[in-house]
A and B are shown apart, each in its own frame.
Chain A
Amino acid sequence: MDDSAVIESRPEVIDGLRRLLPARALLVAAEDTRPYECDGLTLIRQRPMAVALPETEAQVVAILKLCHAHQVPVVPRGAGTGLAGSALPHAGGVLLSLAKFNRILGVDRRGRTATVQPGVRNLAISEAAAPFGLYYAPDPSSQIACTIGGNVAENSGGVHCLKYGLTLHNVLRVRGYTSAGEPVEFGSLAPDAAGLDLLALVIGSEGMLALTTEVTVRLVPRPTVARCLMASFADVGDAGDAVAALIAAGIIPAGLEMMDQAATRLVEPFAKAGYDLEAAAVLLCESDGTVDEVEAEIAHMSQVLRDARATRLQVSTSEAERLTFWAGRKNAFPAAGRAAPAYYCTDGTIPRKHIGQMLKSIQAMEQRFGLACPNVFHAGDGNLHPLVLFDDSDPDSVARAEAFGAEILEESVRLGGTVTGEHGVGVEKLNQMCSQFDRATLDAFLGVKRAFDPAGTLNPGKVIPSLHRCAEYGRQRVTGGAVSFPDLPRF
Chain B
Amino acid sequence: MQTTLAPAFQNRPDAQEAAALLRSCVHCGFCSATCPTYQILGDELDGPRGRLYLMKQVLEGDRPTAKTRLHLDRCLTCRACETTCPSGVQYGRVLDTGRQLVNEQLPRPLLSGLVRRLLAVWLTGPLFAPAVAMGRLLRVLPAAQAAGVVPHRLHARRMLLLAGCVQPALSPNINAATLRVFDALGITLQVAPDAGCCGAIRHHLDDHDGALSEARRNIDAWWPAVEAGAEAIVLNASGCGTMLHEYGHLLRHDAAYAAKAARISALVRDVAEVLPALVGQLAPRLRERQPQRVVFHPPCSLQHGQKIRGAVESMLTTLGAEVLPFADAHLCCGSAGTYSLLQPQLSRELRDRKLAALGAPRPEVILSANIGCLTHLAGGTPLPVQHWIEWLDAQLA
Interface on A for B, CB 8 Å cutoff? 24, 27, 29-32, 34-36, 38-40, 42, 53, 79-81, 97, 99-100, 102, 119, 121, 123, 127, 142, 144-146, 267, 270, 331-338, 341-343, 392-393, 491
Residues of A within 8 A of B289 (CB): none
B371 lies within 8 A of chain A by Cβ: no
Q: Is the CB of B44 within 8 A of A337?
A: no
Given contacts A337-B89, A491-B2, contact A31 B28 (CB under 8 A): no
Please report the C-alpha to C-alpha distance between residue A102 and residue B39 in the assembled complex, in whole angstroms: 8
Residues of A within 8 A of B84 (CB): 144
Using an 8 Å CB-CB cutoff, how does the interface string of B54-77 with A read, 1 for contact, 0 for none? 100100001011011000000000
Please report the C-alpha to C-alpha distance between residue A266 and residue B295 in the assembled complex, in whole angstroms: 37
Residues of B within 8 A of A121 (CB): 33
Chain B interface bracket (under 10, 10 to 19, 20 to 34, 35 or more): 35 or more
Q: Is the CB of B86 within 8 A of A270?
A: yes
Interface on B for A, CB 8 Å cutoff? 1-2, 4, 23-34, 38-39, 41-45, 49-50, 53-54, 57, 62, 64-65, 67-68, 84-89, 327
Q: Is the CB of A342 within 8 A of B26?
A: yes
Residues of B within 8 A of A97 (CB): 42-44
The 6 listed contacts between A and B (C-beta, < 8 Å) are: A42-B26, A53-B43, A80-B29, A144-B34, A331-B86, A337-B88
- Output the residue of B2, B28, B53, B65 with the most chain A CB within 10 A: B28
Q: Is the CB of B86 within 8 A of A334?
A: yes
Residues of A within 8 A of B31 (CB): 145
Residue ID in chain B nearest A81 by CB atoms: B29
Given contacts A142-B28, A142-B29, A144-B33, contact A336 B44 (CB under 8 A): no
Residues of A within 8 A of B43 (CB): 24, 27, 53, 97, 99
Across the interface, B44 reaches (CB within 8 A) one of A24, A99, A127, A335, namely: A99
Please report the C-alpha to C-alpha distance between residue A308 and residue B379 in the assembled complex, in whole angstroms: 63
Residue ID in chain B nearest A393 by CB atoms: B2
Residues of A within 8 A of B2 (CB): 341-342, 392-393, 491
Q: Is the CB of B53 within 8 A of A338?
A: no
Residues of B within 8 A of A127 (CB): 327
> Chain A nearest CB: distance from B322 CB in Å?
19
Please report the C-alpha to C-alpha distance between residue A366 and residue B38 in the assembled complex, in whole angstroms: 39
Q: Is the CB of A35 within 8 A of B44?
A: yes
Across the interface, B30 reaches (CB within 8 A) one of A30, A145, A392, A491, namely: A145
Q: Is the CB of A34 within 8 A of B57?
A: yes
Please report the C-alpha to C-alpha distance between residue A40 and residue B44 in the assembled complex, in whole angstroms: 13
Please report the C-alpha to C-alpha distance between residue A36 and residue B28 in the assembled complex, in whole angstroms: 13
Q: Is the CB of A31 within 8 A of B62?
A: yes
Residues of A within 8 A of B89 (CB): 337
Please report the C-alpha to C-alpha distance between residue A127 and residue B88 in the assembled complex, in whole angstroms: 25
Q: Is the CB of B26 within 8 A of A79?
A: no
Across the interface, B86 reaches (CB within 8 A) one of A29, A119, A123, A335, namely: A335
Please report the C-alpha to C-alpha distance between residue A99 and residue B31 in the assembled complex, in whole angstroms: 14
Across the interface, A337 reaches (CB within 8 A) one of B34, B39, B62, B87, namely: B87
Q: Is the CB of B86 within 8 A of A31?
A: no
Q: Is the CB of B42 within 8 A of A40?
A: no
Q: Is the CB of A32 within 8 A of B67?
A: yes
Across the interface, A334 reaches (CB within 8 A) one of B28, B53, B64, namely: B28
> Chain B nearest CB: distance from A164 CB in Å?
22
Please report the C-alpha to C-alpha distance between residue A324 and residue B45 in the assembled complex, in whole angstroms: 32
Given contacts A53-B43, A119-B42, A342-B26, contact A79 B33 (CB under 8 A): yes
